A and B are shown apart, each in its own frame.
Chain A
């Protein structure tokens, strides 16, 4: 999933200070799962903002809505009935959702309420870790299911650097060394000889090096 974290309250207050009414828009997908911008978080943030502006003597009208998917035009269209009643939108979706609202409602200011972080997985309750950088040319089949692009601090394709210590990354002892994980998996799979195959320099075009990316499925596109 795409993970996100809510921005600090002070930053949000600065964004919406000029407005008397806003639409606070959550998303029912990734940001709900990582507890950053789902229905529950929309409710909590709306209360906190109302409280703040009430105390400041400048009441703020907030409309709350949580869309099924903010990155999908079909669902963003649902905002049509609310949008004229507010001066701005504060989106709790990832950056994709924020941009979809900006695209659809050209004249309406929209602000992000979360910082979009990474594509990751849940390690345990309340902990998410990066797993994928969308490099566009997946090597997981070669690296035993552990990604060196997203999980090695130096994006090394050919083994651990000289700083790998006790299975941990030199940059942060709370982070596993990706190459230790790869090596352990290669051993478990009986594929250690694969380690000695050199992976050639990567073509970064599918990874964004060729400019903004797009997928066009001829069989589906109309």
Chain B
């Protein structure tokens, strides 16, 4: 064990892990964080707290993570390279760890172009791979990125994203290998709708034995309507929604589309359970958090192990 992270414990036990996410509110409303997070209690192992997602200003990930921590949940601090230079990142990482936050996700972040402050300057002092390296060196070497010693290094369990669907596809396995070289411990993937392509990517991952050295959580987002399916297909960069999924959503009456979306999502989870190297699921129910318990339950992912001592079965072969 590299850290005290509950997510690491569960993944190491070999059980399938389940994570979900909580997007902080666009205002100083701590109650909103609590309401969203409370819905997830007992159904997921850890909760990603997004960092100004879609480049819109929201309550800071760190602040919302602290609220989750105070609720007794396991937050995953998301951090993007868009808004902070390496000084700000490192101070927030130390600050987070001082509050008991021991798991984080390193991202480059959506470009300001997509948000409500398109006039803002992007920082991008370092990229997401360099951030992984920085967090790893802080943890394992006890060194700041600038080379000085840290008095009390933060021991973060380090995550990153992977998008098997973006172009060029042929270097997407390599990109994962680069993140691993930098020191990533776990991966949460882009939402998976094109299962054939995902399985092809996983085959490439297994060919190189990468799945034995990193925990991969498959990204799942249930669709509420055919409108959402079309939007994801046409408007969200790097998202791969096959025509048949859109057709299937559109093939049922409007009031049944949400149910169909959940059905697709459950079928996806079932199929991915059998893909070697998939070590869990990351459920991104966008503004639909209340559906997470139902999905987790119907997907047969309950009960969640509370800790390493919960007697979780070693079904996936333990340490990667």
Contacts and interface: CB of A to CB of B under 8 A. Distances in A.
A, B assembled together = yes
Interface of A: 153-167, 170-172, 177, 180, 183, 192, 195-196, 198-202, 204
Given A154-B82, A154-B111, A157-B129, 10 more contacts: A159-B171, A160-B171, A161-B166, A165-B238, A170-B238, A171-B113, A196-B181, A199-B130, A200-B133, A201-B86
A contact face: mostly helix, strand, loop, or mixed: loop
Given A165-B238, A170-B237, A158 B178 contact: yes
B54 interface: no
Given A156-B108, A160-B175, A161-B108, A201 B130 contact: yes
B277 to A, nearest CB: 19
Interface stretch (B94-102, B118-126, B196-204, B284-292): B118-126
B188 to A, nearest CB: 12
Nearest to A153: B111
Interface in B167-188: 167-168, 171, 174-175, 177-178, 181-182
B134 interface: yes
B3 interface: no
B163 interface: yes
Contacts of A163: 111, 166, 237-238
A201 B145 contact: yes
Given A154-B82, A155-B124, A198 B178 contact: yes
B190 interface: yes
Interface centre among B81, B174, B182 (most CB of A within 10 A): B174
B161 interface: yes
13 contacts: A155-B124, A158-B127, A159-B178, A161-B108, A161-B163, A163-B237, A165-B167, A165-B237, A170-B238, A198-B130, A198-B178, A201-B126, A204-B125
A81 B130 CA distance: 56
Nearest to A173: B237
Contacts of A204: 125
B166 A164 contact: yes
B300 to A, nearest CB: 29
B178 A170 contact: no
A159 B166 contact: no
Interface centre among A155, A162, A166, A177 (most CB of B within 10 A): A162
Contacts of A162: 161-163, 165-166, 190, 237-238
Interface residues of B, number: 35
Contact of B167 (A157, A158, A166, A201): A166
A79 B171 CA distance: 57
A195 B127 CA distance: 15
Contacts of B81: 154
Contacts of A180: 167-168
Contacts of A159: 129, 171, 174-175, 178
A165 B163 CA distance: 12
A207 to B, nearest CB: 11
A157 B174 contact: no
Contact of B182 (A164, A170, A195, A198): A198
A143 B162 CA distance: 22
A155 B190 contact: no
Nearest to B170: A183
Contacts of B238: 161-165, 170
Given A154-B122, A155-B124, A198 B167 contact: no
Nearest to A204: B125
B168 A160 contact: yes
A196 B178 contact: yes
Contacts of A153: 111, 113, 122
Contacts of B133: 198, 200-201
Interface centre among B145, B161, B166, B181 (most CB of A within 10 A): B166
B171 A158 contact: no
Nearest to B124: A155
A154 B174 contact: no
